[in-house]
Structure 1
Amino acid sequence: MEHVRISTIGFTKTSAEDFFGRLLKAGVKKVVDVRLHNTSQLAGFAKADDLAYFLKKIGGISYTHQPLLAPTDVILKAFKRDNGDWSRYEGQFLALMTERKIESRLSPEMLDGACLLCSEDTPHHCHRRLVCEYLNDHWGGRLRVQHL
């Protein structure tokens, strides 16, 4: 069984210099944006069009938006309404990934050298970690995940 290298990163609470430096140091080949909304003005340097430009110019890194790996508006709004009840959010998001059958719509090879991007600064309470764990469970542990 060949392993696939994947990483995750968040852009809040970091500078552009630190963010892009971590991607370059990790040897990331492509950034897969797993945010539902990737055009918010609050995203600063991580606004979709700007980010794609910076990634290409700074490190020759490709960019793609993959809403298949994002929670729905309903799940996001419920999380905010429920004052950040992580266990409830986690259960709803895991059920959504199961319903979407993401493990059969993607392949490990598609994610080799990729970095999943979301806004949260750490992976602990972020859906990007849940995506990696879910896929690893369904793909027999092939993913070697590094949280940047």
Structure 2
Amino acid sequence: MDKVDVFTIGFTKSNAENFFERLLKAGVKKVVDVRLHNTSQLAGFAKADDLVYFLKKLGGIQYVHQPLLAPTDNILKAYKKEKGDWSVYQGRFLDLMSERKIERRLKPEMLEGACLLCSEATPHNCHRRLVCEYLNDKWGQPLEVKHL
């Protein structure tokens, strides 16, 4: 199988100009929003309705909200609001992806030129990185992941 270029990006600690320029420079064709809730007032320019408009207007970039690739409210709350341990969060989220069988519901080519979006500024403690690693493990490493 050929390599599939997939990107990830977070919007916190970034202004709109920097965020959209990173997407445009990378040649992103589709943003796959992997947040459970994509309408938070804290999201600023990354609220779903605004994001759809900006992506299309600035770069002809498609937008898709994919909660299948998001943690549940319970998993998110235990980590974020209750200041949970990253390794526990990671294990619970990996188990959730396995239960959902996301590797069967998606295909590598569906992610060609796509960018997984969530709020975390960096991929280190972020579920978007876990999604890519999980899928690469299940699919035999076809994803060439670049964190923007």
TM-score by length of 2: 0.98
* 2:38 equivalent in structure 1: 38
For residues 10-89 of structure 1, the aligned pairs below 5 Å read 10-89=10-89
Distance 2:19 2:129 in 1: 18
1:98 equivalenced with 2:98 (yes/no) = yes
Give the letter for the 1:92 counterpart. Answer: R
Could you give the per-residue CA deviations for residues 39-90 of structure 1, whole angstroms, max 9, x where no partner exists? 0011000000100000000000000000000000010111135413100000
Structure 1 stretches lacking a partner, 5+ long: none
SS of residue in 1 equivalent to 2:117: strand
Residue identity over aligned pairs, in percent, reads 78
Distance 1:34 1:18 in 2: 20
Structure 1 segments (4+ residues) deviating >3 Å: none
Give the letter for the 1:39 counterpart. Answer: T
TM-score by length of 1: 0.98
Number of aligned residues: 148
Q: Which moved more, 1:49-58 or 1:71-80?
A: 71-80
